[in-house]
Each structure stands twice: as C-alpha cells, then as structure tokens.
Amino acid sequence: MQIPRRPNGATGWVPAGQVDVARVRTRIVVDLSQKRLTLYRSGEEVLSAKAAVGSPATPTPSGSFYVNQRLIPTDPNGPFGPGAVGISAFSNVLTGWTQGGPIAIHGTDAPWSIGKAVSNGCIRLPNATLRRVFAQALSGTPVVIHR
C-alpha cells in the first residue's frame, strides 16, 4: 500500500486486520501541462476545471497518490478558500516546510492565479469548483498527477 511519507511513492505493509476496505468510486486526474483537474465518478467525467499548479521553482510532483485528509479552514476567504483536500504527495523541494511540504487541492483567495504555474506545489481551484470536488473526494480517492 502507498503511505503518505517521503519519498513520494513509498510503500508499506500493515496487518490485514487493521485495515477497513471500502469501494471508492471517484478518481482525480491533474494534467500539469494543461493546468487542469478532472474529477471522475464511476468512470464518468463529473467536472473538469482549470487549476493553478506549482511554479517552476516549486513544482507540483507527478505520480499516483490518494486523498488522505479533508480540511475546512477557519477562514473561508483565506488562502485555502473554503476547503482543502490533502493528498499523499509531498513537495520534492520544500523539504523544510511543516510536515515536509504536503500537497493539497484547495480553493484560493487569488482567483487570478487559476490557469497559471504559481503555487508552492499545491493545486488551486476556483472556490465554487473546490466545493464540488471537496464534496466528492473522500478519503482514499486516487489522485493521478501527470505532465
């Protein structure tokens, strides 16, 4: 199984008795070159939207990840907008950040940034779009990020 630890793509093992198994019908695909996030449910595209991605100095890591957190900020008008969907990815360059530079899909207080490569590695969405993604991207949802 994948674990949310450095380096990206790390695997680990746990006793089967300590694991709950459930079917996940959603999947998120982020195309970094197109700066676009697409959400699928049961194999069908539910939404596709422009997104801000990591800057050249702090790129969004590519690979196969999963949703491991769902956070609601105290200030819905702040830098993370109304919510953040944490994923198991970590920045490859921001290693000194708190918790090792975790990556999230979140809203923004900078709507001008959507469609640009300007973040510290996170994927920013318009707040209305983030609300839709947040409602459907439950823990365990696969997240594939590619160039």
pLDDT tens sequence across 8-42: 877 787 888 888 888 999 999 999 999 999 999 99
From the candidates 83, 106, 121, 137, which is the catalytic residue? 106
13 in any annotated domain: no
The domain that holds 69 is classified in CATH as 2.40.440.10
pLDDT category, 80, cuts 50, 70, 90?
very high
| pLDDT of the residue at 39 | 98
14 in any annotated domain: no
**Annotation marks residue 122 as catalytic:** yes
Q: Give buried/exposed letters for 7-39 (b at 16+ CB in 10 A, else e).
A: ebeeeeeeeeeeeeeeeeebbbbbbbeebbbbb
| pLDDT of the residue at 117 | 98
| pLDDT of the residue at 7 | 77
12 in any annotated domain: no
Read off the pLDDT of each residue in 81-107 and give the average, rounded to a whole number. Answer: 92
pTM metric for this prediction: 0.92
37 in any annotated domain: yes
**Annotation marks residue 146 as catalytic:** no
Mean pLDDT of the chain: 93
Q: Which domain holds residue 44?
A: 24-146
The domain total for the chain is: 1
From the candidates 122, 125, 137, 145, which is the catalytic residue? 122
98 in any annotated domain: yes
6 in any annotated domain: no
Residue 104 and residue 145: Cα distance in Å, rounded? 12
Helix, strand, coil shares of the chain, percent, nearest 5, are 15, 35, 50
